[in-house]
A and B are shown apart, each in its own frame.
Chain A
Amino acid sequence: MSSVPGLQADCEELLGAFQEADTVRFERFAELWRERRFHTIFYGRIRALERNKLTKKTLELAQQYFLPPYAFQIRVGALYLLYGLYNTQLCQPKQKIRIALKDWPEIQRFQQDLIDSQHYDAAYIFRTLRLARAFHFTAMPKLLNYRTKKKIQENEFKEEFKDPSNRVNNLITNDVLEELMNIHDHYQKMKCVISADKSQPDKALSLIKDDFVVTLKDITLEHQEWQQNRMKLFLNAKETDEIPSKKAEGTLLESEGSERANALARIKYRSYSAVVEASKSRRHRQVKLESSESGSNYGKSPSRSKKTSRRPQPATRDSLEIKGEMQVAKETVTRHIGMPIITEENSDEEVPLPKRKRRC
């Protein structure tokens, strides 16, 4: 097992609660920790070898939240979490926290940030961990483990933990706007200079909107506000009950997507719920509507169309061939699709088959 079941959910729940508390104070984190009695996460009758592995995996998971791209508050929460897990583990000697070479400058910067913003409790806790020799300084972050994995697990971490990647803001910075403004003014002045009327440029030269820089700034601000609102809404939606939140989410975030999906589902349902009545020649083989649990009975449609297309051919040979052959033809068609259930299962299906082969 490459991950401890349920551990990610528990850690994310704790970090989420810490994020909502909107503070980085250790006392607050300790309260949340005590509420959940998080130190019991190592409990259970586990033998020494298993316990070592479990603790290693736990620390590895918590350590991932300590690094970028997570938000500052989450990283501080992860630091507290590591502190708590390291000290409450039951292994003797204690399992260590791995820090990779590439992450070390980042962590140093983080510590400097903490000191600069006067979050002394977090900085102190980091120092305590270092003094307690809680770290293994390694070349690579993850200890390799050679087992053929049946399924590659994609680590999906919660979106709201991540710092909102503000690419628009990174592109349209204040400097850029200022420069654009300057260039724009310069351009306008040039146009005025070369046109007949010195106070304003010629009509023929008006190729761009005059206030485009201001518009650009407004749009950027709007985007940022929208992003913040979206995050807040997402967080709020998680707080309230499931059904109302689904509604809120559904209406705001997924309205377009779900409408289309609903429309498609309706069309499908209508088309597949009707069953074609088999012709008289095949009245012994009525198609029974079998609803599959997954909700996709799309298999019926192709098989039906195949049956209809094949019908003329066997019909012409009807007089010559025995019915068994048509059964075989149909049987091969339906077997190929595999989904609709044919009510009649003849045990002597095998007999017509060899006959057909001999003829061909």
Chain B
Amino acid sequence: MFFSSETFNCCSLSLSYSSPRCSLNTMASVFPSTITECTDCICLACREFCVWGHSGIPCLGLSGVSIDMLMSSDKEKDPDVIPEDSSLLTLRIRKKALERREETIIVDRACRQETLAYEMESHAIGKRPDNPTDLVEEGELLLTLNIYYPVIFQKHKDHKPYQTVLVLGSQKLTELRDSISCVSDLQIGGEFSSQTDQAPEHISKELYKSAFFYFEGIFYNDKRYPECRDLSRTIIEWSESHDRGYGNLQSVTMEDYTFNDLSLKIGFPYLFCHQGNCEHIIIITDVRLIHHDDCLDRNLYPLLIKKHWLCTRKCFVCKMYTARWVTNKDSLAPEDPCFFCDVCFRMLHYDVEGNKLGEFLAYPYVDPGIFN
């Protein structure tokens, strides 16, 4: 009804082809990721293209089925210039948008956020490892995860900040856990107004090492260190205490599992919890086979390809440096809480000898934008 069943004649020379049959089965299994080129069935006529198919179908090179047929004879000069007389609606709309942009924007250049985003996306494309043992094999799965951060600022309620990470299927869950950088890991607890120089070096990451992932009813707990605790125990006990409608929740160790062992839903929110109460939502957006153009260096995975940008809070005094201290109930500060960089903090609150001036409570502050 819709197509004519004329036989396709390769070329007007009407040669009879007696080329050897190609014995290669190119589509052997579902999703072969490589197709080996057959070298021994070259078309006898043109010597260029492979005779292909099991019945010795002649090559099509002579008929010129190639990409040249799709390019117009007059080479379009500049891809930046939209041709005047275009019949395509897309181009007409785009032209109007471009003209509007030219009118309103004074300097039309990529801002640094855009440059950063593009760099992050494309910096690892095509990379190959120095050590051949680190090469990612074909048939490996590549997962794209979005890791969402807890809402600190009100404006994030609608668009939560998130990072996008690529992981290989054969990687362990612990590798992903190590790659998640959250500002709550760097917090230093304690009030240090009286002893500013003695702010301890221990950040929360080292004090509280427990963490778990929650996928499909199973809690994967980090048990690599002796001080790690099973954070999920509370939740499991809670769900078992009454008939809450949650099925069997289990608890296993994180380091025994790789992503290939899991069965996951795409687009479904899962959980990562660390520091006891810092929770991140994890959503898997894509699962696909590894491709020739991807980064094939195993050491670079989990690979960060998209990062959110947070504005850092600057010191109230100099407005130049990122805040390192925050004060409460400060008689010397105009607002509560008030943020200071190290230098301004010491200059304002302490005299030359280091005595505390005025009443205040001071805490070391780690800005969320520290990972920018």
Contacts and interface: CB of A to CB of B under 8 A. Distances in A.
A40 interface: yes
A47 B177 CA distance: 34
B70 A87 contact: yes
Nearest to B289: A137
A343 interface: no
A310 B289 CA distance: 73
Contacts of A23: 3-4
Contacts of A73: 2-3
Contacts of A48: 118, 122
B152 interface: no
Contacts of B287: 138-140
B103 to A, nearest CB: 14
A30 B5 contact: no
Interface residues of B, number: 66
B110 A117 contact: no
Given A47-B114, A138-B288, A118 B5 contact: yes
11 contacts: A6-B91, A39-B71, A41-B88, A42-B79, A48-B118, A88-B70, A115-B57, A119-B8, A120-B60, A133-B293, A139-B287
Interface string A1-33: 000111101100000000100111011001001
A76 B8 CA distance: 15
Interface string B87-114: 1111111110010000000001010001
Contacts of A119: 3, 8
Interface in A107-142: 108, 111, 115, 117-121, 123-125, 127, 130-131, 133, 136-140
Interface residues of A, number: 72
Interface string B283-327: 101111101110000000000000000000000000000000000
Given A26-B69, A88-B67, 4 more contacts: A37-B83, A47-B110, A88-B71, A133-B293
Contacts of B57: 115, 120
B80 interface: yes
Given A47-B114, A49-B117, A139 B266 contact: yes
Nearest to B33: A137
B207 to A, nearest CB: 33
A138 B291 CA distance: 11
Interface in A215-263: none
A163 B243 CA distance: 51
A52 interface: yes
B76 A43 contact: yes
Contacts of B71: 34, 39, 88
A71 interface: yes
A139 B286 contact: yes
Nearest to A123: B53
Contacts of A139: 266, 286-288
B3 A49 contact: no
A358 to B, nearest CB: 43
B286 A96 contact: no
Contact of A136 (B63, B93, B291): B291
Interface string B26-43: 110011010101000000
A41 B86 CA distance: 9
A105 B2 CA distance: 23
B285 A131 contact: no
Given A44-B94, A49-B117, A90 B79 contact: yes
B82 interface: yes
Nearest to A30: B69
Nearest to A26: B65
B88 A6 contact: yes
